[in-house]
Amino acid sequence: MIKKKPKDLGLVLSTVAIAINLVTVSIYIYQARIMNRPQEIAAWSYLEWRSIDNESDVMKLYVRNNGIGPGIG
Tens of pLDDT, residues 19-65:
999 999 999 999 998 887 776 666 667 778 788 777 777 778 888 87
Cα dihedral 21→22→27→33 (10° resolution): 120
Count of C-beta atoms within a 10 Å radius of residue 63: 11
Is the model's pLDDT at 73 over the cut of 60? no
For residue 58, the model assigns a pLDDT of 77
Residue (of 25, 31, 62, 63) closest to 47 by Cα position = 63
Q: How many residues does the chain have?
A: 73
| pTM for the whole structure | 0.46
Cross-strand bridge partners of residue 51: 61
pLDDT score, position 41: 66
Q: Is 27 exposed, middle or buried (0-12, 13-18, 19+ CB in 10 A)?
A: exposed
